[in-house]
Chains A and B, each alone.
Chain A
Amino acid sequence: MNIVVCVKQTPDTAATVTVQDGKVSWGDSPLVINPWDEFAVEQALRTKEAHGGKVTALSLGPESAKEALKHALAMGCDEAVLVSDPGITAPDSLVVSAVLAAAIAKIGEVDLVFFGRQAVDSDTGITGAQVARRLGWPSLSLVAAVTALDAAAKSISVARMLDEGRQEVKAPLPAVVSVVKEICEPRYPSFMGIRKASKAPLPVWSLADIGISAPPQSALTWPEVFAPPKIETRCEVVEGDSPAAKAAALAARLIEEKVI
């Protein structure tokens, strides 16, 4: 199996994110591998461990995004590639998917591409499906379990977590899979893995390297970012002599306020 896992570098979910001078800021909080992508890396590694082959971690971003790739290498990925080019500024998912699809095509003979379900910064959750569309491969999003994988027959079956329940879908390989947390528990990078990752070569491809001559343009821009409207609440603590009295008082207030 020739597997690619796409990762992004994002602020940690515990970061306090604010707007400063019209720009998004996360202060001193560290940038990490997008939390969803750790599940994608783990699933890629498990697939390789079960079926053989290799896993390449792929990212688009500035030079600093190498840290997210090193995390993936430390978890056990065999290779990592960063696509970085000064021509790419503020890319939307249309641009990101074009670049990732071209990089995957350059890697060549890929059977499976894994994504996390979304990135915790832009929160769109559409890049995986867009890469699939560009490559002409099936898109299997929100995957909670790989139920069958036949490397010889080149087919995969998955359970997808939709709003209404779980859907079982079968598709031929190559395919693009985006995963949800339920799929697995990501492993911690090992000490040996971290040492190996720090020494591993980490090639950086430019747009020209992946056959894109003119930088693709974003269709979407963020002209304004702002703090969400403050929620003006003062908690009314419902009192009573017993739990039953408190419950009765709360029920009365909810009905009075027409909440229920």
Chain B
Amino acid sequence: MASKVFVYVDHFNGQILPASLEAIGAAKTAALALGSSLTALVLGEQTQSLAAQAIQHGADDAWVAEDAKLKDFRPEAYASVVAKALQEAAPEVFMLPTTARTRELAAMVAVDLSTGVAPDVVAFEIKDGKLLATRPVYGGKIFAKVVISQALPQIVLIRSRVFPGPEADPAKSGPVKKIEAAVGEVKSEVLGYKPSDGGVSLTDAAVIVSGGRGVSNNPSLTPPAEITDEREKEIWRAQQGFQLLRELAAALGGAVGASRAAVDAGYVPYAFQVGQTGKVVSPDLYIACGVSGAIQHLAGMRTSKTIVAINKDAEAPIFKLARFGIVGDLYEVLPALTKELRARLGK
């Protein structure tokens, strides 16, 4: 008999994502509560090692679809294969990690199967055989318990870095079933790919060093003579200043983020923005430098496990959320902190 719980394994560049492992762990919990086994669903050009890893991390078996047409993730192709597999297996729960790819995939599968989708889920319980999921709404200002009651499967996307990723058992194996890759007509074509700077994705990062408007108060640098406009000078100084954040992030193996104020002022691109209208993150450590702590920014990082605030203004709202604070000029504190951490961490 097929499992009542299926979990989707998202991968990139042939690597299983940490978020996928977390989803496998969460799905295993759901499967145990429903008295069921757990099946991993893996699509791609080469899926064998990914399926084996999913099983080592807690899935009981795996269904795989392999096809050259599945080499690039294209939502319409992946959705057709996933919807067909779910129709055949008729699970009660379909769990996925929340990524850019899976959000679109789940959306389309839900249309095909006329069911509901709960993205960004941070907690769930199984009650009378139904899954009751908790997710932040209104930019995290409110939590909603949601239930998908009208149709199956209940599609649940769990948020990254909320559920623990299970340890691998290298000795564990399980059956892998090949399923038909009924891709159908695919209209879109992936032309190319450019990885983001720094290599650490904000949503996966365990440490984030974030800069706000305060980064513009760079005391030491003189912009090149060809920059005459005052605003351009400010942007130039802040952009140089972000280098200090990059160095601290590198010492901690983390990523660099920014507040909306810093992005709107043109210091760094939008891809860096953390907050209600940027990325929502929950790293182990979030170091906010020159960030005052507007409500929209707090919405995007308040679930960070430890927050450190470095700000000249002792009254900045960010200190209300922080576990540790330094009242001081980030341009004095950050180089000292980077040096100190490099020495202590042996880097």
CA distance A144 to B278 in the complex (A): 13
At the interface, yes or no: A217 with Cβ under 8 Å from chain B? Answer: yes
CA distance A236 to B327 in the complex (A): 11
CA distance A139 to B148 in the complex (A): 24
Give the Cβ gap from A2 to chain B, nearest Cβ, in Å.
Answer: 19
Contacts of A138 in B (CB 8 A): 76, 187-188
Fill in one digit per residue for B281-325: 1 if any A CB lies within 8 Å of its CB, else 0.
000110000000001100000100111110000100001111111
Contacts of B325 in A (CB 8 A): 235-238
Contacts of B326 in A (CB 8 A): 237-238, 246-247, 250
At the interface, yes or no: A64 with Cβ under 8 Å from chain B? Answer: no
Q: Which residue of A lies closest to B133 (CB)?
A: A220
- Give the number of residues in A that approach B within 8 Å (Cβ atoms): 84
Q: CB < 8 Å: which of B100, B120, B295, B322 contacts A233?
A: B322
Which of chain B's residues 105-164 have a Cβ closer than 8 Å to chain A?
A: 106-108, 110-112, 114-120, 132, 135-151
- Give the number of residues in B that approach A within 8 Å (Cβ atoms): 96
Listed stretches A70-78, A167-175, A202-210; interface member: A167-175
Contacts of A248 in B (CB 8 A): 336, 340
At the interface, yes or no: B196 with Cβ under 8 Å from chain A? Answer: yes
At the interface, yes or no: A255 with Cβ under 8 Å from chain B? Answer: yes
Contact yes or no, A123 B120, CB < 8 A: yes
Listed stretches B43-51, B55-63, B200-208, B209-217; interface member: B200-208
Listed stretches B171-179, B233-241, B268-276; interface member: B268-276
Contacts of A161 in B (CB 8 A): 100, 270-271
Q: Which residue of B lies closest to A185 (CB)?
A: B264
CA distance A246 to B103 in the complex (A): 43
CA distance A223 to B76 in the complex (A): 32
Q: CB < 8 Å: which of A122, A218, A225, A238 contacts B324?
A: A238
CA distance A35 to B149 in the complex (A): 31
CA distance A120 to B272 in the complex (A): 19
At the interface, yes or no: A46 with Cβ under 8 Å from chain B? Answer: no
Contact yes or no, B149 A221, CB < 8 A: yes
Contact yes or no, B107 A126, CB < 8 A: yes
At the interface, yes or no: B1 with Cβ under 8 Å from chain A? Answer: no
Q: CB < 8 Å: which of A130, A222, A236 contacts B108?
A: A130
Contact yes or no, B142 A19, CB < 8 A: yes
At the interface, yes or no: A141 with Cβ under 8 Å from chain B? Answer: yes
CA distance A217 to B137 in the complex (A): 21
Contacts of A251 in B (CB 8 A): 337, 340-341, 344
Q: CB < 8 Å: which of B116, B137, B339 contacts A218?
A: B116
At the interface, yes or no: A121 with Cβ under 8 Å from chain B? Answer: yes
At the interface, yes or no: B68 with Cβ under 8 Å from chain A? Answer: no
Contact yes or no, A228 B136, CB < 8 A: yes
Contact yes or no, B328 A243, CB < 8 A: yes
A-B contact count (CB 8 A): 267
Q: Which residue of B lies closest to A19 (CB)?
A: B142
At the interface, yes or no: A111 with Cβ under 8 Å from chain B? Answer: no
Q: CB < 8 Å: which of A13, A137, A225 contacts B144?
A: A225
Contact yes or no, B345 A260, CB < 8 A: yes
Give the Cβ gap from B144 to chain A, nearest Cβ, in Å.
Answer: 5
**B-side interface mostly:** mixed
Q: CB < 8 Å: which of A221, A236, A260 contacts B146?
A: A221
Contact yes or no, A222 B204, CB < 8 A: no
Contact yes or no, B187 A162, CB < 8 A: no
Contacts of A222 in B (CB 8 A): 144-146
Give the Cβ gap from A193 to chain B, nearest Cβ, in Å.
Answer: 23
Listed stretches A47-55, A81-89, A90-98; interface member: A90-98
Give the Cβ gap from A213 to chain B, nearest Cβ, in Å.
Answer: 17
Give the Cβ gap from B218 to chain A, nearest Cβ, in Å.
Answer: 15
Contacts of B340 in A (CB 8 A): 244, 247-248, 251
CA distance A260 to B76 in the complex (A): 41
Contact yes or no, B193 A168, CB < 8 A: yes
Give the Cβ gap from A164 to chain B, nearest Cβ, in Å.
Answer: 6
At the interface, yes or no: B104 with Cβ under 8 Å from chain A? Answer: yes
At the interface, yes or no: B183 with Cβ under 8 Å from chain A? Answer: no
Give the Cβ gap from B278 to chain A, nearest Cβ, in Å.
Answer: 8
At the interface, yes or no: A165 with Cβ under 8 Å from chain B? Answer: yes
Give the Cβ gap from B252 to chain A, nearest Cβ, in Å.
Answer: 6
Contacts of A21 in B (CB 8 A): none
At the interface, yes or no: A227 with Cβ under 8 Å from chain B? Answer: yes
Q: CB < 8 Å: which of A130, A137, A163 contacts B99?
A: A163
At the interface, yes or no: A113 with Cβ under 8 Å from chain B? Answer: no
At the interface, yes or no: A254 with Cβ under 8 Å from chain B? Answer: yes
CA distance A101 to B332 in the complex (A): 55
Contacts of B323 in A (CB 8 A): 233, 235-236
Contacts of A238 in B (CB 8 A): 324-326
Q: Which residue of A lies closest to B19 (CB)?
A: A163
CA distance A26 to B138 in the complex (A): 10
Give the Cβ gap from B88 to chain A, nearest Cβ, in Å.
Answer: 20
Instruction: List 21 A-B pairs, Cβ < 8 Å.
Output: A126-B103, A129-B108, A130-B110, A133-B76, A133-B79, A133-B108, A163-B99, A167-B192, A169-B190, A169-B191, A181-B278, A220-B116, A221-B147, A228-B142, A233-B321, A233-B323, A235-B322, A237-B319, A243-B332, A254-B324, A260-B345
Q: Which 5 A-B pairs have the closest CB atoms?
A: A220-B116, A219-B116, A126-B107, A247-B336, A243-B332
Additional A-B contacts beyond A133-B112, A168-B191, A236-B324 (19; CB < 8 A): A14-B296, A36-B277, A93-B107, A121-B138, A129-B103, A133-B79, A141-B75, A141-B104, A163-B100, A164-B13, A167-B190, A167-B194, A219-B115, A221-B147, A224-B144, A227-B142, A246-B326, A246-B336, A257-B306
